[in-house]
Chain A
Amino acid sequence: MARTTTRTVSQPFVNYALEAGCYDEMFNDDGAPRGHYATMYERLLDLTAEELRYRQSSADMNFLHQGITFTVYGHEEGTEKIFPYDLLPRIIPSVEWHTIEKGLTQRITALNLFLHDIYHGGKIIADRVVPFDLVYSSKHFRREMRGVDVPRNLYVSVCGTDLIRMPDGRFAVLEDNLRVPSGVSYMLANRQVMKRVFPKVFANYGVRPVDYYGQALLNTLRHLAPNGNPTPTIVLLTPGVHNSAYFEHTFLARLMGIELVEGRDLLVHNNIVYMRTTAGLRRVDVIYRRIDDDFIDPLAFRPDSILGVPGLFNAYRAGNVALANAIGTGVADDKAVYYYVPAIIRYYLGEDPILTNIDTYLCNDEQQRSYVLAHLDQLVVKAVGESGGYGMLIGTQSTAAERDEFRARIQANPRNYIAQPTIQLSRAPCFIDGQIESRHVDLRPYILSGDSVKIIPGGLTRVALRKGSLVVNSSQGGGSKDTWVLYE
């Protein structure tokens, strides 16, 4: 613990830095392990660096052999990498999880109501809680969805919300991913590998299981079946082998025992969707689609898409097939709409938000914009419709040229940008080069909303593996670790 450099500490932790202004998951401010980490701390002290290194390499081999990889765009064609896995679990005590669970349930409930409202009467707009121009100018707003009734009024069935822990220890929502959130396969794989390489550490810790996710997802999808069909044919629609998350698509399809299809496997005839099998055409009732709105039907959206299914949108509108998630959910995770989510929660539920937002400046607003432009070197600027860490400026780590570029971009299209203060994400112990060091982490829990809202106790803890870095995205040098939610 290098806060006081003179202090000698036990071997694996010599390089562990505690910094003021940043919450540490494992240690409290005095440098003593927090209660839920105490046993872990003891167990780690018993392990030599050699032993840790051995476990790390056997974990890596596990991932490689199972082919748990993702594809990096823009590199040599088809480069497959394993998603770096960090050996040390991130632990969340039950009382904190309870708050997260309540907060996320509240949020997803409100967002589903919001989506139904804006695609129907638009009461929230009429009541001037959310400005109409913001909604209608969102890149992901789908005019085509106005007046369309979706099964059970569920727009977002599968959601992965990014949470961060503020310096004061509270969790806050960084962004909602309401379109096609990915990463859940890593949550499941991380747990499997953890149990295999670290059985003794895992045993008796009271960790809540996550592996029923497949069954829970299947039930959520079944719930959407048109006409209450109790035995619907469900498929997972993938863009194909070139997609960065293809591994996850195959993984989930296998987990649920459903067919993994590409656009060319499906066809629409008389507004009914069929898949082409060797035994003839078979009707499809529910599609868990991992393709963006834009590409899903060339007749309704981007005409140049070869990944989609011509006519699918009409079949959907006719109520003959269910899609998870619904089309047009992206408007609710637009980063400028995000600013209004606390107001949205109050409007529909009459409750105060349990999980707070990060302070956000809308570049659309003249006053806020001039503040942003004057403080570019301190803020994080994000394009509203992007995800995956693309289209971002991190002010504190930027060059003057990059800031000038963003200034010009903001002025050219203010609606497209928001800014947030640079948040020191909390840090957690990670095994780096034979030592335990601290790195910034976030948390993406996975939320399913079917007949009720279910949140899998755990999630994907993403790690910014580069020292000091605040960017956790896998495409930008991030890794992940197993996330343990403890029983009471």
Chain B
Amino acid sequence: MLSRVADSLYWLSRNLERAEHAARMIDVHLNLVLDESSSTPLRQRRERLLYSLWMQPTPQLLDDDYALTQYVTFEPTNDASITETIALARENARQIREQISSEMWTQINKVYLDIKCASMEEVWGHQPHEFFRSVREGSHLFQGITDATMNRSEGWQFIQLGRYIERAQSVARVLDVNVGAILEADGGGDHYVQKIGLLKSVTSFEAYSKVYHGDLESRWIIEFLLFNPSFPHAVRFCVEHMNLALREIGDETGVSKQSRLYRCAGRLNSMLSYDMVDDVLDGDLHGYLHDIQHLCHLIHEALFETYIAYTIESAS
């Protein structure tokens, strides 16, 4: 497979996952704001939202949910805004239109056209929740169509890879930014709201409740989001699926499994497979979450060095 095509498939998937994540985060935020007692520091909540999405807070964004929502959703100068990431995903798809199924192209194009027609006034004036739900649904539909119409060759694996790297990194980041607040909230008056908020923003509340019966303990939440092997938004699940995709790609291309790429991915996998939540909580929790994000970043870089932007010398 051409490196350029692999690159486009990978980014198409990453960008769409990123847009879906941002849509969920802002949606949950707007919903939580309704429940907040006046005593809770809203500014801090907004700040955490922005940090979770790798966006820089400004005084205006911290004061006003309208401005915040506009910035996260529509702001053209914000590379990570939902409209911008969806436009990027669509451009990635357009560059390789002949490589994906026409159903996939039609779906990504529809998501793009729908959001291009939407305006902030309209979204805010009507039901913001409906709008963000439709963005998430658009992304889910694309994934479903991809699974139903694309053959399971290298290209499909690059799509999986993009999605799971993005998701692992995002969930680790959300935990990293919010874990202080939920630990603090343990036993406090609004701890319930904080914790539900965290779980919902990574679409995990229902799945968590099935395992832990609605007892919202910080320790269990952290355990679930990091180490659960069967829930698709748990970091461990994402990392295992990254490894699966990498192995398939390695088999198909004949790249050595001894390379840096496979070592980084393997190390991350073993961390999440064998570490225990108590050790992590007793140790440096932020350091641990940081390591996860950093390893994801190293895997991304090594992926490029190995498959996409390798030098002539290393190839021959």
State the CA gap A260–B252 with chains docked (Å): 20
30 intermolecular pairs with C-beta atoms under 8 Å apart: A67-B102, A240-B95, A250-B97, A254-B98, A259-B2, A260-B98, A261-B2, A264-B4, A265-B2, A265-B4, A269-B312, A275-B2, A276-B3, A276-B310, A277-B1, A277-B3, A277-B253, A278-B1, A278-B154, A278-B249, A278-B252, A278-B253, A278-B308, A279-B253, A279-B254, A280-B253, A280-B310, A280-B315, A281-B315, A281-B316
Residue numbers of B with Cβ under 8 A of A are 1-4, 6, 94-95, 97-98, 102, 154, 249, 252-255, 307-308, 310, 312, 315-316
Which residues of B sit under 8 angstroms from A277, Cβ to Cβ?
A: 1-3, 253
In the complex, the answer to whether A278 meets B307 with C-beta atoms within 8 Å is yes
Does A148 lie at the interface of the complex (its beta carbon under 8 Å from any beta carbon of B)? no
Which residues of A sit under 8 angstroms from B3, Cβ to Cβ?
A: 265, 276-278
B252, closest chain A residue (CB): A279
Does A408 lie at the interface of the complex (its beta carbon under 8 Å from any beta carbon of B)? no
In the complex, the answer to whether A276 meets B2 with C-beta atoms within 8 Å is yes
In the complex, the answer to whether B97 meets A241 with C-beta atoms within 8 Å is yes
State the CA gap A23–B6 with chains docked (Å): 54
State the CA gap A241–B5 with chains docked (Å): 13
A277 to chain B, nearest CB (A): 6
State the CA gap A267–B254 with chains docked (Å): 21
State the CA gap A241–B1 with chains docked (Å): 18
Which residues of A sit under 8 angstroms from B154, Cβ to Cβ?
A: 278
B6, closest chain A residue (CB): A278
Does A162 lie at the interface of the complex (its beta carbon under 8 Å from any beta carbon of B)? no
Which residues of B sit under 8 angstroms from A250, Cβ to Cβ?
A: 97-98
State the CA gap A476–B154 with chains docked (Å): 42
Which residues of B sit under 8 angstroms from A410, Cβ to Cβ?
A: none
B313, closest chain A residue (CB): A269
Going nearest first, the 9 A-B pairs with the smallest beta carbon separation are A279-B253, A250-B98, A278-B307, A276-B3, A281-B315, A280-B315, A278-B6, A278-B253, A278-B1
In the complex, the answer to whether A279 meets B312 with C-beta atoms within 8 Å is no
In the complex, the answer to whether A267 meets B95 with C-beta atoms within 8 Å is no
Q: How many residue pairs between the two chains, A and B, have CB atoms under 8 Å in the bound complex? A: 51
B254 to chain A, nearest CB (A): 6
- Identify which of residues 221-271 in chain A touch chain B, using a CB-to-CB cut-off of 8 Å: 240-241, 250, 253-254, 259-262, 264-265, 267, 269
A259, closest chain B residue (CB): B2
State the CA gap A259–B308 with chains docked (Å): 16
Which secondary structure dominates chain B's binding surface? helix
State the CA gap A393–B232 with chains docked (Å): 65
Which residues of B sit under 8 angstroms from A254, Cβ to Cβ?
A: 98
Which residues of B sit under 8 angstroms from A261, Cβ to Cβ?
A: 2
Q: Which of A240, A259, A267, A279 has the most CB of B within 10 A?
A: A279
A399 to chain B, nearest CB (A): 41
Which residues of A sit under 8 angstroms from B249, Cβ to Cβ?
A: 278
State the CA gap A148–B205 with chains docked (Å): 71
B303, closest chain A residue (CB): A278
Which residues of B sit under 8 angstroms from A259, Cβ to Cβ?
A: 2
A251, closest chain B residue (CB): B98
Which residues of B sit under 8 angstroms from A241, Cβ to Cβ?
A: 94-95, 97
In the complex, the answer to whether A276 meets B102 with C-beta atoms within 8 Å is no
Q: Which of B4, B249, B253, B307 has the most CB of A within 10 A?
A: B4
Which residues of A sit under 8 angstroms from B98, Cβ to Cβ?
A: 250, 253-254, 260
B56 to chain A, nearest CB (A): 31
Pick from B97, B255, B316: contact of A279, CB below 8 A.
Answer: B255
A278, closest chain B residue (CB): B307
State the CA gap A278–B153 with chains docked (Å): 13
B250 to chain A, nearest CB (A): 10
Pick from B1, B4, B97, B310: contact of A262, CB below 8 A.
Answer: B4
In the complex, the answer to whether B94 meets A276 with C-beta atoms within 8 Å is no
Which residues of A sit under 8 angstroms from B252, Cβ to Cβ?
A: 278-279
A280, closest chain B residue (CB): B315
- Identify which of residues 257-302 in chain A touch chain B, using a CB-to-CB cut-off of 8 Å: 259-262, 264-265, 267, 269, 275-281
A71 to chain B, nearest CB (A): 12
State the CA gap A78–B240 with chains docked (Å): 41
Pick from A260, A264, A267, A275: contact of B312, CB below 8 A.
Answer: A267
Which residues of A sit under 8 angstroms from B253, Cβ to Cβ?
A: 277-280
State the CA gap A12–B147 with chains docked (Å): 49
A262, closest chain B residue (CB): B4
State the CA gap A253–B97 with chains docked (Å): 13
State the CA gap A275–B6 with chains docked (Å): 13
- Identify which of residues 401-460 in chain A touch chain B, using a CB-to-CB cut-off of 8 Å: none
A67, closest chain B residue (CB): B102
Pick from B95, B254, B310, B316: contact of A269, CB below 8 A.
Answer: B316
B300 to chain A, nearest CB (A): 15
State the CA gap A281–B254 with chains docked (Å): 13
A288 to chain B, nearest CB (A): 16
Q: Which of A67, A278, A279 has the most CB of B within 10 A?
A: A278
State the CA gap A259–B4 with chains docked (Å): 12
Which residues of A sit under 8 angstroms from B307, Cβ to Cβ?
A: 278
